[in-house]
Structure 1
């Protein structure tokens, strides 16, 4: 230790581990760790890690982060939290990692912050013009929103970018470890003892610091390598990597990422092409747990449509009074069933032969108005997704009368606005789960769980069926023993293998009640479902501030008609 360090020995802790030297300044001073994170530098740079545990420390490092993102507007991002134990509630994000191409890596210990976060941090994370690259980064954003109300925008999953860089890298596993090895030739230590360690500890271990910093740093490096590889059609070299500083680089980067920003990566197995053109099957590579409901919702929400939702065809009563607008398919159905006649083609207007069950009481009616096929939030008109204001998981448990005229609560959003709205909805779902004692469909509240013993038997039978001749003798013997023990036999036949393959490994929970059903029942008994429906509509207005809502769209839509009904179905009013 140098004499200068000896002078500061009472304030300074020094540790050396795994080839990484770090100096942590303690006793309330800013924590600054200088390290060499990667075997070979992406670009000649000075790498450092800043541990941030307070507002003042964040404010002192934020200008450097902001300056680093001036021209190369991308950071690597990752999150760490303490894994939930059996039956425990999942812990909030403890550590947020942000890494720049300059070598700066900021480890923000959210678990040590006061009740509120710096506005500059929230603004930085919500800035869609600054891309946040990583594996599963969209899911990290969902957890940040649920835990802290932080909106994360500009997310780019590295696997999306990889799918646009064909024939250059041979990727055997598209997780962060596999990408790092193939693209950067860096082997990440993904030890479960570090990954699932205590990220809320008073002092992080050197191994935790290195692990967390590398996860974010390799994220931004992989992203830039892939972008340069796409532009040059070959693996980047030291000279070609300098392209990131060229004037037109960022415009071309945004072009490569078009359509995948803030889009969750599909967790279904997909085919990735390696450098030899051989497809490698990849499964779920993210070690951290992701709520199944959030995952499936994220996948479904990005089924975009180019065809119009609103055709603005007209339906008329026998005397010519307009009843409503409808789509072309419904209008033609009345004609084909000889229930009405075509009056004109532009717009397609059908006059019914029979008296309808009800007529609009005035011209100021939502269902009489023509509606535009645009995003109701920002006005985007190229692609859009149907947004269900009151989620189906709740509405399907509503009484029939409240399910009528539900098209009022179906609006159009562009993909980015839909993604943002879905994040806010996830936060409200979690609040309802806590308030109504209605756990989301995970953990002990699942409809079914898997019998681990039966699953082992079935897996063993599958391995024997598909690869018996290729398995080592000792491994084959273990698998055969597993199946024979289950059936209590001495010899294994093909018939028994088939029987093992057909085993149902699921255990059904007879006491299971879906989250949506429990919430609806709770609200119905205490506040009434009209207030619940109004709450979701107001939630959409408050969180998204839509500027292009259809005329007469209202949070109180249809509530006068339902007021008496809701009184009858509410056992108690708060």
Structure 2
């Protein structure tokens, strides 16, 4: 820099000397003008060099004061018109030329390839600013300043997967927005040189910046083309672009500017490709699950792996941030007996509803005494387990940090257990550290593999399991079709003839036609024959169903005991909670079954013999009435309101008319009929923006087959409903109605549900009426048929409390 300045100063001196000489020899105006021009040009170049050097000195300092938090709302600028876009780009150019030539860039999309918003963050001396350019409001093709900025090679655009944004923009103009014509850099290219684990932008933000990037689907999937963006949308969009600039600044601080600049120069305009680690255990798949292969694989891992910090990344593992057991929160009976040790939110609920009084509220204790007699008390050993204090430590090695929940009985089996075995399951949730959790999972996998062989129930999801069971001949035909479609030109003639012969033989064709290869490629994955594929049941469901068919509920209880014993034998836990045992809750199961037998006693339920055809969606309700305690044979019955629903949730529906114009989410058990209707007893409309229910009956009749008799469960939770529509009267068999999280503010609306004489389950919490005094008691009085309300069971004491309150009001 000093040499350049000396050279330019000498040049200016020579120009001035020339002016002096010319003025002495000849006063000709033309010669003076030439000399002045030379001097002016020399000064201009010197000044440009000076500014460039000053910019470089300043740019070296931009990352030193980089912040890691979210920027303030005042630092976010929205551009919604061509004029605002021009001003925004002008300001961005000012800072990139005078301060820092890196910008963070991201886009928000609507639909497949429609760009709604472009976010550009730039570093300024006062901090990071972000510009939100609403491309849905302007035509990007006439924003020449923006297009010139994107193609400017001196400004490097930062992001994770940023080439994907430009590929989508290339749908608008292939030449202008193609990644090959734009200067960009994927931040993931630098991560191998650091100690961080590579991943997406959210993962890098958590590791490098130490904060969580908001990826709430409700904001991500919101309407980015709205007339005005909400504050949540602004913050969400700006943070994606700001994080990219902050991450680069932190990496420069850690690695040094020269090393980071090397990566940028080396990988600029290069698409990032994740290097996959070689799997040493990968072998050719045989057509069946073999116990020996699985055992060898797991045993090899158990011998070679150290399940410590190298196996689990504590920065990314979902370890508990708060203790599992809150021993300071207790729920007492009216006489002071401890009923349970629970969490503060549940205990405080009784106080807010007027059903309990706060006895103690300190930093170390939160105690609530109920005002009514509970339906039961902890008398048995299983019930007393829930009133004993438990330590938040690993039950195997007593480690206190980095703990995870462990399901002793895997959930893939538990969720298919009889309904009487699905309560009080927290007994089978224990705490393990990262190391012990990893080892336990491997040992569980080995046991699950043996169970899979025993019951012929492949592990994994439906597609994987079907692929394992699929006949080899069918796989070869589909593979041959794919090869011919994609690589026919690369295959030798002999191989082409072989593949064509295989496909022709499978379809019984005598002459090769072009559509056969497409037909072969489109063959779906099937487990055996067409009939077997349609009756396919996943691993956990098939195992439990087989147990029920073979030995009833006793077999499932023994299966539960076997898993608990497996955990004790393989992990040898030395710090299990007091009162934990392998036969936990079995006496309560017996009592519940006896109660159900007495309630049934040949009145409202008819026995249904267990068969293979009615295993889908079943649950065990009773024992066979004959023999009662002696025989313990299971009785299986259908419960339609728990079947798979027609799921229309999270579709931004605002009324019933919208409902008839969209299709529900795909489900393996809810099939569309030829008339366009669905065979289901349930419909899910939760998490939309429905305001009114006008046309509800018409919509149901157009969606559900025989809706008048079939509809039994309706989920309208988390909408904007103010009034309950009287059209619910058209569906007298509704048993479950979920209306929590809406805007219902009058008890008169609830009275419209009186006509639903079969209604057993209702939710209304999260509505304005939830804050009314004695809200629960009034609802139970209005609808006396309820068995559960707001996910809480209804007892005779609830109705008694209402009459006591009524008498107190009438006779003060």
What's the TM-score once normalised by structure 2's chain length?
A: 0.29
What's the TM-score once normalised by structure 1's chain length?
A: 0.39
Which protein has the larger Cα radius of gyration, Structure 1 or Structure 2? 2
Q: Which has the higher contact order (CA 8 A, sep 6+)?
A: 1
Larger proportion of helix: 2
